[in-house]
Chain A
Amino acid sequence: MTEQTTMPEQDVAKGRIARILDSDIFHSFIRSKVTVIAAIVTAVLMISAFLAPWIAPHDPFDLAQISILDARVPPVGMAYHDPRFLLGTDDQGRDMLSGILYGMRISLAVGFLSVAFAAVLGIFLGLLSGYVGGRTDAIIMRIAEIQLTFPAILIALLIDGVANGIFGNLDRERWAVWILTFSIGLSFWVQYARTVRGSTMVEKNKEYVQAARVIGIPSFIIMFRHVLPNVMGPVLVIATINLALAIITEATLSFLGVGVPATQPSLGTLIRIGNDFLFSGEWWIAIFPGLTLAILVLAVNLLGDWMRDALNPKLR
């Protein structure tokens, strides 16, 4: 490498957005059609979920709008359909489309919150474990390994059951989303902790960490200011893929009936309701939320896969 003291000035002058548009990562994004489609699908689904109260044709929570007479109306295009209900209605006469939009809100909220919770917990313990090492590392990692021997669903079920016992049935409805977030988050932290621990052990032997120690900066600050930003790459990738996983776990729990209550349906709850009617010909109640869930999870996963490849210098 030759010494170049004079940097090209236009590089500095170029705005942030221009630089992002010019970067290799953006280039690899644009070149992969699947990823672009996945990103668009994810964005559309997320925005429509976020805007549900304004764009949904009905409010499935408003009892005044629901009429049992509208129950199990088939979607538009089938015999006996009702033009008010594009995707039909469920067994209580709630509009499927609105139900899906509102349901996605809860699914996504639980997904994001639990991923954030798991990431914060996992990153903190992983950093501590990797940087301090020794006994701290041994204890944290043994706990992680014990947790790994239980399937995530089982842990979530366990926590949900305990919470049920503590709060009782009435309070449980109010706390359901938070309990769900907590239980899903708690079953996912191990992955973050292990990844961060591994990267931290690599980073802490690099000379910039030693330089910080020579300056006299305390370990705690080195961990967060120097090591943490350098181990975040893989965490982002796991977080994206975990988001899909968390949404599925939430749906599974709701399907099993231990997730969010039927009064504030998530995608999983809708599928569970539909499951009862699947064999009596009212397929739309299960299929539409199921399809939404599948598309959402697939799109997020594809994004995660692309991110893993794009951020991994070895695969480039």
Chain B
Amino acid sequence: MSILEIRGLTVEFPGRKNTFVAARDVTLSIDPGKILGVVGESGAGKSTVGNAVIGLLENPGRIGAGEIYVHGERIDNLPQKKMRELRGKRIGMIFQDPLTSLDPLQTVEFQLVETMLQHLPLSKSEAQQRAIELLDQVGIPNPAERVKQYPHQFSGGMRQRVVIALALCAEPEVVIADEPTTALDVSIQAQILELMKKLCTEKNVAMLVITHDMGVIAEITDHVAVMYRGNLVEYGESHQILGAPTHEYTKSLIAAVPRPDVKVHRFPQVDYIEGSAKPFKQIDISTHWLGQSRDYKPVDGALLSVKNIDMKFLTKNAWIPKNRQYFSALKQVSFDIQPGETFGLVGESGSGKSTVARVITGLYHPSGGTVHFAGQELTSLSDRKQVLAMRRQMQMIFQDPYSSLNSRMRVRDIVAEPIKFHKLASTNTECFRIVDDLLDHVGLGSAAGKKYPHEFSGGQRQRISIARALATRPRFLLCDEPTSALDVSIQAQILNLLKDLQDELGLTMLFISHDLAVIRQMCNRTGVMRFGELLEVQETEALFETPQHAYTKELLSLMPSMDILSRDNLEEEVA
């Protein structure tokens, strides 16, 4: 018999003008000891389902129709007070960000004991004893000592373990995990997923995992529900749905997932996602503006050469230089990038990969080492004219499409700014003609220019970013996690666009990502970074087949396995 049952759940958010239906007629059930994954892209309504179950819908959301049962008992119409007793006691919750879901002012013990005393008939000392046992169960070493500590004394992964202990402490029958590993690094994600799976079977709870990540779904779930715009489009056993999806949306979603094991030429054009199916128009580079006056000197050997870069950030200032304390973000980093290649940098958060990009573009001045670009030393350049000439040749695409565009400027002014600044067009009319053309070329249509950035979605904003980067006619493009803030299907489109542009314009790229699967799709050669050090550099294929450094091996082994994912529609690239 299933523990959690959701029947025909419809969640509505009444607005000023119309009612927005966040989830429509969703029917799901979970058996004890099983994990149900709800997968979908942002706005699909997956979190809404979780919040509806636990009775924490954000205002003004309400359940419009449907019923929710825990163990055959209807809970969706319970009064607030009853619902409060239920939360924690019968339904546990694991949140996305472990940095904010624990109270920083209380010890871990206090938080665990408080929850247990609320829901279980235990004495205080029994609860304390159980708190230690729980920490042990979730794999925290020295539980008796650590239970007395405050959340900030735990690392991100450890904190997520504490959050899991907190969710399980009152022995709930149902646990809802909303994006439990999204805020964590790959290596920690693997451990947490394993732990969740183990505890789920051991404690015989029904677990609802909400995620956008097909890797997570493939790794731990028994059943999966695919949601699209509030609708449940497919629901069934995981291997069935992932291996042989029947709904078009599921198919396109699975096809868009970058795999660590297959390199695709281009991601399949997904026509299920609205407004995407604009095929890339090849332009004649010899006559097009983007190809004009590519007056750069050809280089022999490497286009970009980074030698022994050190980067130190001051963490504690002092009058006497000896007493100053520094944090070393980069230690002796050296690599070369050949013209026309895509060089990947991969690493977990804090590995210094973004710092490398900022040193190359001159946003940071390195503490030591040199950067040569097209034979010119960059770090010692002082002549403004020369600096500008260099700046023009390299452009950057940023991670967060929401903060990388000035929200007070129209899109065409944003894209026109570099053209005007570098005087690449003689008249205003010519300049805007170029802008319209660029916007069209990145797949937005020239009408987009008259609007402001907030009128666009994340993927479209990233296209604007790309158009702006192309506007100086660069030959070197730095992409700093260009797709990590985007949904998979949109990520696939942006990656395709970058590949197309590179082929067409012969761009050289530095591609930074934390996602090995994306790196595999994009890069010719790849460097692995950790704690500011470049551990190894190899051809990407070789890196995946025969990793040299122990850390690379570890990273590769921790990637969620996607073997069961369907391979329909994938055009594999033959090396």
Binding site for B on A (CB under 8 A): 1-7, 11-12, 24, 27, 206-208, 210-217, 226, 229-230
Contact = CB atoms under 8 A, between A and B. Distances in A.
Contacts of B458: 1
A7 B450 CA distance: 12
A30 to B, nearest CB: 12
Closest 6 CB pairs of A and B: A5-B275, A216-B391, A207-B404, A229-B408, A207-B398, A1-B457
A213 B363 contact: yes
Interface string B350-363: 00000000100111
A215 B405 contact: no
A24 B454 CA distance: 15
A5 B403 contact: no
Interface residues of B, number: 53
B459 interface: yes
A3 B487 CA distance: 10
B87 interface: no
B436 interface: no
A210 B363 contact: yes
B417 A217 contact: yes
Chain A CB within 10 A, most for which of B363, B404, B406, B451:
B406
A3 B276 contact: yes
A207 B460 CA distance: 16
A211 B408 contact: no
Given A2-B229, A5-B275, A211-B404, 20 more contacts: A1-B457, A1-B458, A3-B274, A3-B459, A5-B443, A6-B275, A27-B16, A207-B400, A207-B403, A208-B405, A213-B362, A214-B391, A214-B395, A215-B417, A215-B418, A215-B421, A216-B387, A216-B388, A216-B421, A230-B408
B182 interface: no
A258 B118 CA distance: 67
B250 to A, nearest CB: 16
Interface in B460-496: 460, 465, 468, 472, 487, 489-490, 493
Given A206-B403, A208-B404, A215-B395, A3 B457 contact: yes
B553 interface: no
Contacts of B41: 2
B396 interface: yes
B507 to A, nearest CB: 15
Nearest to B229: A2
Nearest to B450: A12
Contacts of B468: 211
A30 B485 CA distance: 37
B444 interface: yes
A169 B191 CA distance: 82
B43 interface: yes
B275 A3 contact: yes
A6 B421 CA distance: 31
B445 interface: yes
Given A207-B398, A208-B403, A214-B396, A4 B457 contact: yes
Contact of A2 (B274, B361, B392): B274
Interface string B422-459: 10000000000000000000011101001100010111
A5 B460 contact: yes
16 contacts: A2-B43, A3-B459, A3-B489, A12-B450, A207-B400, A207-B403, A207-B404, A210-B358, A213-B363, A214-B395, A215-B395, A216-B387, A216-B422, A217-B421, A229-B409, A230-B406
Contact of B455 (A2, A7, A217): A7
- Which of A12, A210, A230 has the largest count of B CB atoms less than 10 A from its CB? A210
Interface string B375-402: 0000000000001100110111011100
B155 interface: no
Contacts of B443: 5
A5 B273 CA distance: 11
A171 B404 CA distance: 54
Nearest to A230: B408
A6 B275 CA distance: 6
Contacts of A12: 447, 450-451
Contacts of B549: none
Interface in B296-335: none
Given A5-B443, A207-B398, A215 B391 contact: yes
Interface string B262-293: 00000000000111101000000000000000
Given A3-B493, A5-B275, A207-B398, A226 B460 contact: no
A1 B398 contact: no
A1 B229 CA distance: 10
B137 interface: no
B90 to A, nearest CB: 33
B407 interface: yes
B42 interface: yes
A45 to B, nearest CB: 32
Contacts of A206: 403-404
A27 B15 CA distance: 13
A218 to B, nearest CB: 9
A140 B183 CA distance: 39
Contacts of B489: 3
Nearest to B406: A208
A240 to B, nearest CB: 20
A305 B374 CA distance: 57
Contacts of B472: 215
A77 B166 CA distance: 75
Contact of A1 (B16, B42, B395, B406): B42
Contact of A230 (B274, B407, B493): B407
A289 to B, nearest CB: 42
Given A3-B276, A207-B403, A212 B457 contact: no
B418 A4 contact: no
Contacts of B276: 3, 5
Contacts of A7: 447, 451, 455
Contacts of A4: 274-275, 457, 460
Interface in B493-510: 493
Interface string B226-243: 000100000000000000
Contacts of B404: 206-208, 210-211
A235 to B, nearest CB: 13
Contacts of B229: 2
Nearest to A232: B408
B449 to A, nearest CB: 11
A229 B405 CA distance: 13
A210 B398 contact: yes
A273 to B, nearest CB: 48
Contacts of B43: 1-2
A96 B358 CA distance: 67
A216 B469 CA distance: 12
Nearest to A27: B16
A315 B396 CA distance: 35
A18 to B, nearest CB: 14
A7 B447 CA distance: 9
Contacts of B417: 212, 215, 217
A3 B388 contact: no
A87 to B, nearest CB: 45
B382 to A, nearest CB: 14
A5 B444 contact: yes
B237 to A, nearest CB: 27
B11 to A, nearest CB: 18
Contacts of A2: 41-43, 229, 273-274, 457, 487
Nearest to B394: A214
